[in-house]
Structure 1
Amino acid sequence: MVPTVAVAGATGGIGRTLVEQILKENKFSVIALTRSENVESPVSGAQYVQVDYEDIPALAKQLETHTVHTVICAIGMLGLDCSEAQIHLIRAAEKAPTVQRFVASEWGYHTKEERKNIDPGVDWFLSAADILKESRLTYTRPVCGAFMDLLGTGSPRMKSHIPPMTIAVDVLNREACIPGNGSNTITMIYSYDAATLIAKLLELDDSEWSEFSFCAGVDTTLSEVLKTAEEVCGEKFKVTYMEPDDVNKGDVPSMKPLEGSGIQHDEQKEYGSFGYQLYLADGFNLPTQYRVGDKFPDFKPTTVREFLSSCWDKKA
């Protein structure tokens, strides 16, 4: 019998990508959990199940009924309600006798207690981790660093479900805002590569799971990313370098929101300030230990140059 994986937040950017790649690996069946009764453009091969994250007993029953073995949470932690939804999902997974493993919703930068001054939402991630530590479930916290997809924002050739946004290097408009001198290390990965690593991780025994699963693609710097983007595009970008003290005070320029993204000017500035501060605090510099790709020598992540070329090189 093929094991069943449930993906919560399955219609979001990360969630949909995970559903696609897990099905592509063809080792698991997928239950896509969603609050919506109707799903636009469902992924072929996935069974969509409407759930209520407020009702833990009913949620546990759904997991048991579909004989779910592993739960992956891809609910974006955008507010307290999202945090509570994940906590309820953990409680339900522990109640469901078929569920043995849980992949927590982290996905972005490396959350730590000392980064709460930058992101108060760190508590949401740490609370879930504390509950999982006390549970019977085998679990892991996936961390991806920075998604390469943002470098393709505005390109009609990019394949991605990550919401479009321009931070640091705006290839579409040939602009860049670099915190400090751009020399801090940033770990980047293409979203489909990250989803592939999670799909492969599902095949491993519980004993090979660790608390963190670092889905690392490549280690680079913003200066190197900018240089590569200029080379691929064949032109120099307009570059603004920001003093670290200004960044930490939130005194940063705002890049242009992508037309049609729905992001307002003040939101764009807020997102940028958040990302720049985390970059300077090495929040996107993932540890070398517990990198998932090390377990799969045949896995070759997309490089920054390969990604940029696929999106922006006119000869590609």
Structure 2
Amino acid sequence: MAIVAVAGGSGKLGRAIVDGIKAAGNFEVLVLARKASARIVETDYSSPDAIAAVLEKNNVHVVVSALSSQSPPEQEFNLLKGADKSSVTKRYIPSIWGIRYTEEIASYFPPAATKLSFLSALQATSLDWTAVYNGYFLDYYGAPKVKTYMPPMALVVDLANNFAAIPGSGDVPVVFTHTFDVGHFTAALLTKDKWEKESYIIGDKVTLNEFVKLGEEVKKTKFTIEHDPIEKLKTGQITELPSHPPFYPYFPKQMLQGMFAAFGNMFENGVFDLKPSHTLNQDFPEIKPKTVKALITEAYGA
């Protein structure tokens, strides 16, 4: 049985990916982490040579990176260098997991520049690789009521408080995918003989206005709805949602507003309206991803 190493596999998205690969049963899973316990292998992310040694020792054929966006970029660079050095490692999935970033997006959303640099570095390797694009994580809207490893963090729609702050028109479709579905599709992707450079997962696609309407229908109540014009978003400001203040001690208000304003801008500009010519959904129709309505119903229907 081929061995897949998941970097960051003890983290939020990483755990969901590990769960999905284990459930599929086609691969043995090894978790790479800075500290080892159980089936986790201690890994020194500061050294490509040390990483290569770990991969070779454990006969790792595929590396899946789910390193946090808060991790120093050097960790991902060293990981892919180590994978390229390893004589047994042939395939790599970088820690992108979202949208297809561009230089324009990087001009107002700095993490995009880091993600683009990962892809540039991969192109210089001999590895077979693919970047996975899955839109925005649906989990944030159901946590902690719906099982997930992600924290609750309301963006645009605050289901718990019947409140929404719509960026722009709210009429542009957005792809939302649950992390467990990302895990299921990633497990299936590992079985493909040929990888394209881009692999797309469409969990569900709704406009933000439709998202709010679904919330109102399931909760049987009208939401308070505010609108944030693009001009406001470009200043790094959004309408504060009722669930945001408790996060400020850990995620300062200015930083949270700036990040969410960037997402609002991307939502309105269609960046999350993924329109690929081919999807993993088409390759693996047996995987039925969780819809926005199903998540809201599971979290608030009762």
Contact 2:21 2:187 in 1 (8 A): yes
> After the TM superposition, which of the residue ranges 230-239 and 124-133 deviates more from structure 2?
124-133
Q: Which amino acid aligns with 1:272?
A: F
> After the TM superposition, which of the residue ranges 186-195 and 265-274 deviates more from structure 2?
265-274
* 1:260 CA displacement: 7.1
Provide the residue aligned with 1:62 in structure 2.
54
Q: Structure 2: 5+ residue runs without aligned partners?
A: none
Provide the residue aligned with 1:168 in structure 2.
156
> After the TM superposition, which of the residue ranges 89-98 and 212-221 deviates more from structure 2?
212-221
Provide the residue aligned with 1:204 in structure 2.
192
Aligned partner (choices 120, 139, 148) of residue 110 of structure 2: 120
Q: Which amino acid aligns with 1:151?
A: Y
Q: Which amino acid aligns with 2:275?
A: P
| 1:193 correspondence with 2:162 | no
Q: How high is the TM-score relative to the length of structure 1?
A: 0.90
Secondary structure of the residue aligned to 1:62 is helix
Provide the residue aligned with 1:32 in structure 2.
31
| 1:234 correspondence with 2:220 | yes
* 1:15 CA displacement: 0.4
Provide the residue aligned with 2:139 in structure 1.
149
Provide the residue aligned with 2:268 in structure 1.
280
Aligned equivalents of 1:180, 1:127: Cα separation in 2: 30
Alignment length (residue pairs): 300
Provide the residue aligned with 2:12 in structure 1.
13
* 1:257 CA displacement: 2.3
Provide the residue aligned with 1:214 in structure 2.
200
Secondary structure of the residue aligned to 2:191 is coil
| 1:158 correspondence with 2:146 | yes
Q: Deviations over 1:72-129 (max 9, x none)?
A: 00012236x2x11111111100111110100011112321122112212222112211
Aligned equivalents of 1:177, 1:109: Cα separation in 2: 22
Aligned equivalents of 2:280, 2:102: Cα separation in 1: 20
| 1:301 correspondence with 2:289 | yes
Q: How high is the TM-score relative to the length of structure 2?
A: 0.94
| 1:88 correspondence with 2:78 | yes
| 1:130 correspondence with 2:129 | no
Aligned equivalents of 1:232, 1:288: Cα separation in 2: 31
* 1:258 CA displacement: 7.1
Sequence identity percentage: 28
Contact 1:185 1:284 in 2 (8 A): yes
* 1:259 CA displacement: 4.4
Provide the residue aligned with 1:53 in structure 2.
45
Inter-CA distance 290–4: structure 2 relative to 1 (3 Å threshold): same
The list of structure 1 runs, each at least 4 consecutive aligned residues, that deviate by more than 4 angstroms after superposition, is: 258-261
Inter-CA distance 11–258: structure 2 relative to 1 (3 Å threshold): farther
> After the TM superposition, which of the residue ranges 70-79 and 229-238 deviates more from structure 2?
70-79
Give the RMSD, CA atoms, in angstroms.
1.7
Contact 2:237 2:258 in 1 (8 A): no
Provide the residue aligned with 2:237 in structure 1.
251
Secondary structure of the residue aligned to 1:310 is helix
Aligned equivalents of 1:114, 1:274: Cα separation in 2: 12
Aligned equivalents of 1:92, 1:124: Cα separation in 2: 18
Q: Structure 1: 5+ residue runs without aligned partners?
A: none
Inter-CA distance 138–194: structure 2 relative to 1 (3 Å threshold): same
Aligned equivalents of 1:251, 1:128: Cα separation in 2: 29
Q: Deviations over 1:42-68 (max 9, x none)?
A: 7xxxx2001111111111000001000
